[in-house]
Structure 1
Amino acid sequence: MDSGHAAPDPDRAPGPAPAPVLRLRSVSRIHGSGDRAVTALHNVSLSFPHGSFTAVMGPSGSGKSTLLQCAAGLDRPTSGSVRLGATELTGLGERRLTLLRRSRIGFVFQSFNLLPALTAEQNVALPLRLAGRRPGKEDVRAALDRVGLADRARHRPAELSGGQQQRVALARALITRPDVLFGDEPTGALDTRTGHRVLGLLRETVDRDGRTVVMVTHDPVAAARADRVVFLVDGRITGELATPDAESVAARMTGLEAAAARKATAQC
């Protein structure tokens, strides 16, 4: 039966791969100067394709949070390039960078960062208001419904559990339909069952909506929900795992942490 699809032409060259939504090229971040200078990132180059889920892991002090902050435009690299689509972030002034973050980047942090005086629906609508857009009530309720909290729209953060607050934070991050969603230990303050639910929602934003997610985590189980895991040590990329599972991620982290401990001991 004719399926209606033309047979592929074996002589036709494949088209170019789609441009990544986010690219870091030779990014370094140095804090301080002179003898007190500390290199948090050293010549890091990474690309994040559209509709991908990347976890970033490494021993304590490896530069994970600095990488996320530079990639998200929250911190400026000392050198190198950070490009979101066709926009070079490192050349933007503070006002334009702020506007870009409000419209094209979403954030979910370990500490939720909800405003306590606002209801769940008001917290979710806040990024739109800050961007000068009038939030539609239906859109806000749909965002809360997406994370299973439509019936908590008028509750304030103190009236919600930790897991519910994080789901409100996720709805808030997604309401602007960002190009990239960044998570900094988004399940770090949650119990195992609630953390799994939040990870499932992150995974769904990639698979169903085609969003790009970049998540810093210390948890191999959380990292296993990603498409790949990028490992950092002393501000340098030391390797990746594609289609990871929790056991392989844990084994790699055990080796990296043991090597870091040996290095620290040798320097004492």
Structure 2
Amino acid sequence: MNYDAIELRSVSRSHGSGDSAVTALDQVSLSFPRATFTAVMGPSGSGKSTLLQCAAGLDRPTSGSVSVGGTELTRLSETRLTLLRRERIGFVFQAFNLLPALTAEQNVALPLRLAGKRVAKSRVREVLEQVGLGERARHRPTEMSGGQQQRVALARALITRPEVLFADEPTGALDSQTSREVLALLRSMVDREGQTIVMVTHDPVAASYADRVIFLVDGRVNGELIGPSADDIAARMTKLEAVPC
């Protein structure tokens, strides 16, 4: 069967219990086809990060199911879930999370070393070339700009050839020019490499690089836009943020 990269069925996530319980996600059903770029947006507290964490197997839903490439995460033990994340899922965050004492190529190779796998130097160089940093392999993070560090973080996420790349505010710490370069790189990975990307962002310009934008409000899906412009996205966000809770 040709499964979607990710599928969420009636996913809810609550924190706490009784009268103090807070519902972060409420009966969310979504699918993310392979080789697509999806942005997730919504007002503060809408459940964006919880959605990403549940979809990526970093957090377990209170109810409902999450599948990655046809494998249902909710049925896996913690050990098997950790292995699946390590082998099939990539992560890029706002903070680059690079180890300052290591060179770019050593940072990129780290996930394989931690997994006890052999590291082929050719593969490390390949992903550094892919993100435009072939010449900076031996440079440490302090010798690189913020944009270059985020590219190293991206190469590190790609080293395992993940089925899905999750990006949480990946351009949040970058200036607008560097942000556009990183977003163009993400876009090209979808178009040229068939990568599947799910990105949480608050920035309409960043979201406009995606194929579709999903909007969350109070833990529920509140519509989507296909191939929208930054202006379309900003207008929708303005409406959502104006709705009284």
TM-score, normalized by length of structure 1? 0.89
Aligned to 1:170: 154
Any idea what the Cα deviations from partners look like across 1:169-228, whole Å, max 9, x if unmatched? 000111111000000000011001110111011111110111110000001011010000
Indicate conservation of the 8 Å contact 1:72/1:182, yes or no.
yes
Aligned to 1:137: 121
Indicate conservation of the 8 Å contact 2:41/2:216, yes or no.
yes
Cα deviation, residue 132, structure 1: 2.4
Do residues 100 (structure 1) and 87 (structure 2) align?
no
Do residues 202 (structure 1) and 204 (structure 2) align?
no
Indicate conservation of the 8 Å contact 2:7/2:31, yes or no.
yes
2: CA distance between counterparts of 1:82 and 1:187? 27
Do residues 219 (structure 1) and 203 (structure 2) align?
yes
SS across alignment from 1:66: helix
Aligned to 1:38: 22
1: CA distance between counterparts of 2:126 and 2:69? 27
Query: Structure 1 regions of 5+ residues with no counterpart?
Result: 1-15, 264-268
Question: Of 218, 227, 240, which residue of structure 2 is paired with 1:243?
Answer: 227
2: CA distance between counterparts of 1:235 and 1:112? 27
Query: Structure 2 regions of 5+ residues with no counterpart?
Result: none
2: CA distance between counterparts of 1:238 and 1:169? 31
Indicate conservation of the 8 Å contact 1:147/1:167, yes or no.
yes
SS across alignment from 1:154: coil
Name the amino acid aligned to 1:211. Answer: Q
Pairs aligned (count): 245
SS across alignment from 2:193: coil
Aligned to 1:5: none
Indicate conservation of the 8 Å contact 1:102/1:130, yes or no.
no
Cα deviation, residue 161, structure 1: 1.2
Do residues 81 (structure 1) and 65 (structure 2) align?
yes
Cα deviation, residue 130, structure 1: 2.1
Q: Which moved more, 1:75-84 or 1:153-162?
A: 153-162
Indicate conservation of the 8 Å contact 1:29/1:40, yes or no.
yes
Aligned to 1:72: 56
2: CA distance between counterparts of 1:38 and 1:183? 25
Moved over 6 A (4+): none
Indicate conservation of the 8 Å contact 1:104/1:180, yes or no.
yes
Q: Which moved more, 1:143-152 or 1:53-62?
A: 143-152
2: CA distance between counterparts of 1:117 and 1:31? 38
Identity in percent: 74
Any idea what the Cα deviations from partners look like across 1:137-184, whole Å, max 9, x if unmatched? 111011111111112111111221111110000001111110000000
TM-score, normalized by length of structure 2? 0.98
RMSD value, Cα: 1.0
1: CA distance between counterparts of 2:157 and 2:208? 22
Cα deviation, residue 118, structure 1: 1.4
In the TM superposition, 1:120-131 aligns within 5 A as 120-131=104-115
Do residues 252 (structure 1) and 230 (structure 2) align?
no
Cα deviation, residue 128, structure 1: 1.4
Q: Which moved more, 1:185-194 or 1:149-158?
A: 149-158
Name the amino acid aligned to 1:223. Answer: A
Indicate conservation of the 8 Å contact 2:4/2:70, yes or no.
no
2: CA distance between counterparts of 1:92 and 1:154? 39
Cα deviation, residue 99, structure 1: 0.8
In the TM superposition, 1:40-55 aligns within 5 A as 40-55=24-39
